[in-house]
Every structure is written in C-alpha cells, then in structure tokens.
Amino acid sequence: MAFARTCSVALVGVEGVVVEVQADLEPGVAAFTLVGLPDKSLTESKDRVRAAVVNSGAAWPQKKLTVGLSPASVPKSGSGFDLAVAAAVLGAAERIDPRVVADIVMIGELGLDGRVRPVRGVLPAVLAAADAGYEQVVVPECAAAEASLVPGVSVLGVRSLRQLIAILADEPVPDEEQDEQGRPDPLLAGLRVPGTGAATGIHSAGTAHDHGHDLADVVGQTSARTAVEVAAAGGHHLFLEGPPGAGKTMLAERLPAILPRLGRQESLEVTAVHSVAGLLPPGKPLIDVAPYCAPHHSATMQALVGGGQGIARPGAVSLSHRGVLFLDETPEFNSQALDALRQPLEAGHVVIARSAGVVRFPAKFLMVLAANPCPCGRFSQRDDLCECPPSVIRRYQARLSGPLLDRVDLRVEVDRITRTELTAVGARGESTAAVADRVRAARERAVERLAGTPWCTNSEVPGRELRSRWYAVPGAMDEAERNLERGVLTARGLDRVLRVAWTVADLVGHDRPDATDVALALQLRTGVPRGVPMAIGALT
C-alpha cells in the first residue's frame, strides 16, 4: 500500500480551515474515488487532475486510488484543491518524495495541460494556513504577490504542474513558454470572476482616491459638506435628503477620498473579502484605500447582506467593509432589504445561516443614504412646486423605517442650488485635500483619546462608556437632554448626539465638547436650526 498526504484550505466565508488531502493506492481495478464532502466543482477535479498529470509528463497510477479530504465533516467547494490532490497522488505513486509534500499547503486549480490557474480567496487561505502553523505555501504564480502579504510564510509561485514536480523532486525546472506580447495572460482570468457582484456598483478599490472627484466641485451645500466631513472624521452614518440635481450623489462619491488610508490590518481584512468575492484587481494585491460600493435600488437582500446558493457569498455590506456603502434613491429599495441592514449597522458583521453552513462576514462600513423628499422630488417647505398629494408623500417617506433612521447619526437636507451660486466665479469650496487633512487630524485625536480601548472612532464607542468616562463640558448637554424629555430624541439618539459632538470637538481642536459643538451635533441629527455656524472652519 502506498500513501501520501499534503494540505490545502477550505474557505467558509472569509475564514479558512486547513484540509489534509490524503491519497491511497491499493492493488485492484484502476479507479479514482474522491471522498470528504466535495461539491460538484471539486468532484470534477478527478478528470482535471488526471489530464494535468499525464500532460505534465508523469505516469498516472493504474491502481485503485482513493483521495480523502479531512476533516470530512467540513463542506468543501471550489477548484482550489486540484494542486494538492495532484501532489498527493504523485507522492503516493512515489514520483515525488511523500515526506516533502506532507507539511506544504497547496492552493490552485489545474488546467488540462498542467498549467496552474489562480482561484478566489488566496489571501484568506494563506492567512488560515499561517494561523495553523504552516510555513510553506504553494500558489499559482500570478497570485504569489497576494499570498506574500502574509508575514512568516514562505510562498512558492508556480506556473505549471511540471515546474512543481521538478522543484519537489530536485530536478531542473523547465521553462514555460511565455504568452505573446500584448495579449492578456489567460491565467489572470481566475483572479476576477466575471459577473460576481455585478449589481453591487463597486468602484475599483485601487482608484478610490480619484483626483477627478474633488469636493471643491460641489457648489454651495455648506451644511451637507459639513455633514460629510463629520461623517468621515467619526465614522457616522449619513442621510442626505433633497431634490434631484442638488448634489447628493456628488457628495457621496467624494466621501471615500477624504477617509484616511487603511492600516495594515484593515487592508488585509478588505483584501480578503474582495479576494473571496473574485473582485480583487489582478495588478493590485493589497487594497489600502477605502472601498466604495453603490448597489442599484433593485438589489435583493442577498445582494446587500450576502447569501446565495450553497456557501454564502459576501454582499454589498461586506464589500464596503472599512469603506462607504452608498444607497441612492433609498426609498426605492425593497423595505425588507433595508431593514436587514439594522443588525450589521450595530454589530459590524453579518452572520448568514444556510443549509450548507453558517458564515460570518465583516461589515463595518459607513452608510450614506440619499433620497428625494417625494416621488416627484420637488417637495419643499419653502416653495410650492410639488404636485404630489400629502398621502403619497407620507407613504413615500415612510418607506424608510424609524428603527433604520434611528441608527443614522447625521440627517441633512440638501437644498436646491440657486442660479447665483451656480454661476458665481471663484466661489469654490474647500478641496478634498484640505478636508482630508482635517479629517486625518481629527481621527488621530480620537485614537489618542481612545488608546487602550478596542475602539478607534467615536461612532464605535458605546453610549455607557461616553457617559461614564468621556464627559462634555458641564451644561453642554442640557438642550439635548430636554429634547430627550420632549420625545424628539430617543435614548440611542442622545448617545449618538454625544458621539457626533465629540467628532465636532476633534475637528475644531477642543479638548471636550462644549455647548456649540453639541448644538451643531443636534442640528446635524434633527435638522432643526440651532443658530450655530455650519462650516467647521467657522468654529475653529
């Protein structure tokens, strides 16, 4: 009896489980049996591996072959086990030394000609291997840069099974033919799956800081610009309401550019989610800027929070992790899909239970809602251009449930742009660079104040901690507390006002929120004028 084993990784969401791939050869009628809860794509690996081994110049063993994937209780899907299965079979056939492959993790799909193709989820798979104590990983050559992001792991990138056999057998490594210049590498097609997340409206993560989108292009809208700056500085959710063409989408598109760049751990989290979803750009192994996701209003609940048949896939809330989720025309979304956002808004992650298993995706995002005041979009308190009946307006505005809006810290009415504002010369507002510098300084103040705690931004701090450890100036919260007594604010709303006040204080450089900071926070929360300047620069 001949036996060999190697390792691969099964992904459950963005978390990996190291799988031992065992191959056993016994005398008998030639057959190939694959066991260990494989799915359809993994079952088909029998034919892919056999053809790849033969076309790589190795002999296929004419014996009874059994390949087991352990632990057998974990469902396994995808084609990323091909390379490990081929190595285990060749080890059992003594084409390579079984001891050499025993402690190596192998990830990759095999083509019929023996080429090693990339698969989704290389980064989380290598992270799982590193956590399990493995130090050597074999991946497709074009995914080696992504795998190398994990420290403490030796990464070997191979382009074909022939190369891997030669390296493991200590033989001369053959040179692979290069593709014609100017033609795309067919192997890179596996890094980005066509159609995955087609309804999520994801902007390329590598170009989130688009210099063609500058805050200075937004005309007027002092209140909305201030709300965007406060949202970026404290991680607060934002609701923009106003007529069509007022600049709501322009403001949302420019929000990612004023967010600070992602830290190392945050970059790995975001890259892992996009790698699993098949949305990682081939030339950008590490995403270090805030992602931006703007799904169409026809998106289903599965497209928003994740799901699908079999093992659940990440949805828009996970693809916008550490970034911005923009829901334009929010009342047009399915009400059940919108209410499904409540739990990830509070928890920072989403847990999806399916018959094939339970997965957990990160979902700590900054949500921006945009809506018209009525179906025709012309309803306003100052003029009478709207033709919608009051009952229609009430039904339209009621599509956004109270519990969802209660989780939104900032609510701003975006006014219609006047002719004077639009045609004024030299009246541009602050640029993205200036606002981004102020946001970065405010976040640094918050991180310094919250040192030693599990929180980094003001929006993450629980209300009880704010009330017991970080006080406002005495008397500053009196007006907010009176709003609580009158029913204008809920208890959650009062905590959120204090969080926003701390963000305003960080932006203007105050040690503690004073009455002016709280008044501005109240105005951004309730939309009721409080007689304070709306521009952050006017408060410094």
Residue 133 CA to residue 161 CA, distance in Å, equals 25
User: What Å distances lie between residue 330 and 37, 182, 224, 303, CA to CA?
Assistant: 41, 44, 17, 15
Sort residue 419 into left (φ over 0), alpha (ψ -120 to 50) or beta.
Answer: alpha
Checking 379-383 for CB contacts under 8 A at 24+ apart, the result is 380/243, 380/416
Residue 280 is predicted with a pLDDT of 81
Coil/strand/helix, residue 287: coil
Give me the amino acid identity at 455.
W
User: pLDDT tens digits for 246-297?
Assistant: 889 999 999 999 999 999 999 999 999 999 988 887 677 899 999 999 999 9
List alpha helices for 248-373, DSSP H.
248-258, 264-277, 301-305, 316-319, 335-339, 342-347
Compute CA 256 distance to the chain's CA centroid, rounded to the nearest angstrom.
13
User: What Å distances lie between residue 371 and 316, 329, 375, CA to CA?
Assistant: 19, 5, 10
Give pLDDT, residue 60.
Answer: 94
**pLDDT of the residue at 184:** 56
Question: Which residues, other chains included, contact 13 with Cβ-Cβ below 8 Å and sequence gap of 6+?
Answer: 276, 311, 312, 314, 352, 359, 360, 361
Q: What is the DSSP letter of 279?
A: B
CB-based contacts of 191: which residues, under 8 Å, 6+ apart?
118, 120, 142, 143, 278, 280, 281, 282
- Backbone torsions φ then ψ of 146, nearest 5 degrees: -65, -45
* Structural contact between residues 125 and 17, judged by C-beta atoms closer than 8 angstroms: no
Q: Which residue has the tokens 């095999």?
A: 110
Whole-number Å distance between alpha carbons of 308 and 102: 35
Binned average pLDDT, 10 residues per bin, the chain of 540 residues = 91 91 94 92 92 95 94 88 96 94 95 92 95 95 92 94 94 76 56 46 47 77 90 94 88 92 93 89 83 92 85 89 94 92 91 81 95 85 77 90 89 82 70 92 93 90 85 88 87 89 92 90 84 65
Quote the pTM value: 0.88
